[in-house]
Structure 1
Amino acid sequence: MLTADLYFSFRSPYSYLAIGRYRALMESHAVEITLRPVWPLAIREPDFFERNHPNWLGYTVRDMMRVAQFHAIPFGPPRPDPIVQDVATRRIAQDQPFIRYVTRMGQAAARRGKGVAFAHEAAQLIWGGAENWHQGDHLANAAQRAGLDPEALDAEVAAQADTLDAEIAANQQALEDAGHWGVPTLVFDGEPFFGQDRIEMVRWRMEQKGLTPRA
């Protein structure tokens, strides 16, 4: 059984565009992929969007939409955005309840070996355009679909927020130690593969190391 780590952000559209395909690879082949959630750039570098090139946002939106169309992945604007941000100024708010909660849920799911499944289910809500994905039973149902107990997950997030945050910070450090800083990045056998467009290359490398279909 091969193993790999997937560094993932719930605010990253490219993480969303990769997660279902990595989940499918894990389900069809003998490889275990461990989710390593990290805080998005908006948390780690709040001034990132303010100092970026003016064309960056427009191009990124165009590109993410065509990638979704190319792979036939449902894609809609997050409602709401996981990051609380002023659209006009791009300034990031100090209080970030949505991204902190769902990222902690992802880390709690990863503790149980269900991180990839939960990230895929939750990301489909966020980036698939589910309205008010953060309210009601949306995330609880996502946890159930991933094979998790949503009440236990929620209780753990409430009781162990600081510990989960420390684990999320450690994930970011591990990503940087592996040789990258952005997401989605899959690290296999010490080698980082950054971007949703590296999945076929990941599979090629894994096949060199003995990747086989699941029986």
Structure 2
Amino acid sequence: MAHIDLFFSTISPYAYLAGNRAEEVAAKHGATITYKPLDIMALFARTGGTPPKDRHPSRIEYRALDLVRQAALQGLPFNLQPAHWPTNAAPSSYAFIAAQNAGGGDLGKLMAAFCRSVWADEKDIAEDAVVRACLQEAGFDPALADSGLLVGAETYAANLEEAVDKGVFGSPFYVTDTGQRFWGQDRIDDLDAHLSGKV
């Protein structure tokens, strides 16, 4: 059975634009997914990336055009300048890690809920009430927002180190058990082709 490590940030617009397509591809091929939330700004610093606000104007302009275009193609509501971005991704990430450890809900739906809260719903995922609502929406106990904080912090840091070791430098980033890497929501079709044995 194939396996995918999905590295992502809960504040990543491209993780939001991925929707549930990676989960659909995994289900199609009987593959499993382990979700690896991480600190995207720390990842940029470690891998030669630049935070969006510090990029050259031409890159900032292209990012704005591309995000709006990709959202339209996916039929997703999207706010290019959300009220709560960037925000502290740690609380939502710790809750996500606790949910993954607890089981019982839909992790793909949870990732989507956090990302949608930022990029479409004008909510701050650093706030406890928002984290709890996302957990509940995805079928998890909202109380997970209060549990496993130490484990969450340790795993969050470990995910960053693992990402750097595996050549990950953005979000979302898909790494298969065969070492194939796919960066971005626009490479999910390539992931599908790989799992089909075409590439």
Which residue is equivalent to 1:205? 194
Q: Which residue type is aligned with residue 163 of structure 2?
A: L
Give the partner amino acid of 1:101. P
Deviation at 1:115, TM superposition (A): 3.4
Which residue is equivalent to 2:30? 30
Give the % identical residues. 28
Shift of 1:2: 2.3
How large is the RMSD of aligned CA atoms in angstroms? 2.6
| Cα displacement string for residues 127-152 of structure 1 (whole angstroms, at most 9, x for unaligned residues) | 12x1334457443232123221111x
CA distance in 1, matches of 2:108, 2:171: 14
Hey, what's the Cα distance between the residues in 1 that align with 2:152 and 2:44? Answer: 16
Alignment partner of 1:99 out of 89, 107, 118: 89
TM-score (norm 1): 0.77
The structure-2 alpha-carbon separation of the partners of 1:36 and 1:59, relative to structure 1 and needing over 3 Å to count, comes to: same
Where do 5+ consecutive residues of structure 2 fail to align? none
Distance 2:74 2:90 in 1: 29
Tell me the number of residue pairs that the alignment of Structure 1 and Structure 2 aligns.
190
What's the counterpart of residue 6 of structure 2? 6
**Which structure: larger Rg?**
1
Q: Distance in 1 between matches of 2:75 and 2:111?
A: 19
TM-score w.r.t. structure 2 length?
0.82
Query: What corresponds to 1:147 in structure 2?
Result: 139
Structure 1 unaligned blocks of 5 or more: 84-97, 210-215
Q: Which residue of 2 aligns with 1:52?
A: 55
After superposition, the Cα gap between the structure-2 partners of 1:205 and 1:168, relative to the gap in structure 1 and judged at 3 Å, is same
> Is it true that 1:127 corresponds to 2:130 in the alignment?
no
2:12 touches 2:115 (CA, 8 Å); kept in 1?
Answer: no
Native 8 Å contact 2:43 2:164 kept in 1: no
Distance 2:24 2:107 in 1: 14
CA distance in 2, matches of 1:3, 1:196: 18
Q: For residue 127 of structure 1, what is the amino acid of its counterpart?
A: W
Over 3 Å counting, the alpha-carbon distance change for 1:194 and 1:2 in structure 2 is: same
Measure how far apart 1:28 and its partner are.
Answer: 4.7
User: Do the aligned partners of 2:44 and 2:170 also contact (CA within 8 Å) in 1?
Assistant: no
Q: Sort the Cα spacing of 1:187 and 1:42 in 2 relative to 1 into closer, same or farther, 3 A.
A: closer
Matching of residue 177 in structure 1 with residue 165 in structure 2:
yes
Structure 1 counterpart of 2:191, one-letter code: V
What residue identity is the alignment partner of 1:15? Answer: A
Partners of 1:23 and 1:116 within 8 A in 2: yes
Distance 1:204 1:10 in 2: 26
Tell me which amino acid in the other structure corresponds to 2:85: D
Aligned to 1:90: none
Q: One-letter code of the match for 2:16? A: Y
Is the contact between residue 178 and residue 191 of structure 1 (CA under 8 Å) also seen in structure 2?
no
Deviating beyond 6 angstroms after TM superposition, the runs of 4 or more aligned structure 1 residues are none
Q: Which residue of 1 aligns with 2:64?
A: 61
